[in-house]
Amino acid sequence: MADDRLIVALDVSTMDAMKEIVTSLGDAVSFYKVGMELFYAEGEQTVRYLQEQNKQVFLDLKLHDIPNTVAHGVSSLTRLGANLITMHGQGGPVMMKAAVQAARETAEQLGVERTKLLAITVLTSFDDEAWTATGGQLPISDQVIRLAKLAKECGMDGVVCSALEAKMIREACGDDFLIVTPGIRPSFAATNDQKRIATPASALQDGASRLVIGRPITQAENPREAVRLIIEEMENVSK
């Protein structure tokens, strides 16, 4: 039943809460996101547990620092064995190139597949008003495309972006570029605090590679049924 284009966000703060979600979803989900809330609270045991359950791990820590610090961080996270790692594209080309090199060298030393690196473009919580308030000069969509192209030039594997920008990024960066989209809300779910959102089917049609969905699944009365409905929507779009 699982579709690895679906990543379920574990937006909880304890191992017990995480295990409850993973257990309840069982074989319906193969890919999970561990973000700041959970990783800062429980550390690397979160990733170890998911690996023991034969799940893939999207480690969404949004690294952003000087190149040397980010490179060492990526090296450590590569040793941990996460499948995907995020960092802010705003960190610039030197930082992203250092991260790519660190991931490649560490994977070669370990004899494992290299962790894939994703650049954060513009967070989906931004709308035009908030973007302008922070000093954004370009329209959000233009900045997203600019950072996506820069990330590809630096050797990054893909980006995290709103589904509303997925089509433009796919056209600009090609078919082999990963596009991971949060802010996905199936028809039965509330939008909550996300501003730039899309349905699972529309996001995939516009070029998204993987979809990150949290509350519509984890806070549903029947999480497994919510997954089934979402995958049903996704299957209307060929892989």
Place of tokens 């980006």: 159
* Residue 81 structure tokens: 């064995």
Measured between alpha carbons, how far is 107 from 174 in angstroms, rounded to an integer? Answer: 25
Please name the residues in contact with 42: beta carbons below 8 A apart, sequence gap of 6 or more: 13, 14, 15, 18
The 10 Å Cβ neighbour count of residue 221 is 6
Using DSSP's 3-state secondary structure scheme, residue 82 falls into coil
Q: E strands within 75-209?
A: 84-88, 116-120, 158-160, 178-181
Active site residues: 62
Q: What is the DSSP letter of 157?
A: -
Provide φ and ψ at 50, rounded to 5°: -65, -40
> Which amino acid is it at 78?
T
Q: E strands within 39-177?
A: 56-63, 84-88, 116-120, 158-160
Measured between alpha carbons, how far is 150 from 2 in angstroms, rounded to an integer? Answer: 33
